[in-house]
């Protein structure tokens, strides 16, 4: 049996700060999106990903991968967005088994209306609180962590 590598004080402080900040920021983002458009953060992320994709559409499997959610969780969110008229599903022209999520004009309008408030929250509680050097350090560290997590999946 291997010995447990307990966190030292510096490591524990970093871990605790990361957890607290992630939870508090997520809560603030959820509050803003709910108030502005009745959206959840995952739904907003789906709209953003679709808006930035060619033809404002993505295969469901690719969308699930980029949003880091299970296919069933994505299906649920897409169903909710479809009911709101913000997204629709279409058959993939190159593969009849493939399903595309497509951002509707109403979805794009919603995103354009909600994005400024979302960005205000992100800036006020994260981006504008860090120097350019700190932003670079955070980006580098999180990208390294993301790569390790994706590689081990």
Q: Please name which of 58, 53, 60 lies closest in space to residue 79, comparing C-alpha atoms.
A: 60
Going along the chain from its start, the domains and CATH numbers come out as 15-151 (1.10.10.10)
Share of the chain above pLDDT 70, in %: 99
71 and 64 in contact (C-beta within 8 Å)? yes
Q: What is the mean pLDDT of the chain?
A: 95
pLDDT tens across 93-124, in order?
888 788 999 999 999 999 999 999 999 999 99
Q: Which residues contact 76 (CB under 8 A, 6 or more apart)?
A: none
- Label residue 102 exposed, middle or buried (CB < 10 Å: 0-12, 13-18, 19+): middle
Predicted TM-score (pTM) of the model is 0.91
DSSP state of 55: G
pLDDT tens across 1-43, in order?
579 999 999 999 999 999 999 999 999 999 999 999 999 999 9
pLDDT for 24 = 97
């Amino acid at each position: 049996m291997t010995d447990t590598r307990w966190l030292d004080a510096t490591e524990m402080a970093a871990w605790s700060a990361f957890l607290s900040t992630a939870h508090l920021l997520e809560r603030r983002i959820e509050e803003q999106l709910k108030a502005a458009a009745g959206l959840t953060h995952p739904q907003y992320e789906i709209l953003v990903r679709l808006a930035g994709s060619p033809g404002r559409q993505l295969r469901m499997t690719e969308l699930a991968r980029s949003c880091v959610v299970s296919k069933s969780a994505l299906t649920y969110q897409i169903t909710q967005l479809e009911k709101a008229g913000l997204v629709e599903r279409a058959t993939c022209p190159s593969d009849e088994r493939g399903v595309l999520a497509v951002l509707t004009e109403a979805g794009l309008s919603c995103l354009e209306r909600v994005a400024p408030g979302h960005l205000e929250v992100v800036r006020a509680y994260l981006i504008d609180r860090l120097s350019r050097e700190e932003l670079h350090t955070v980006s580098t560290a999180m990208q390294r962590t993301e790569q390790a997590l994706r590689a081990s999946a």
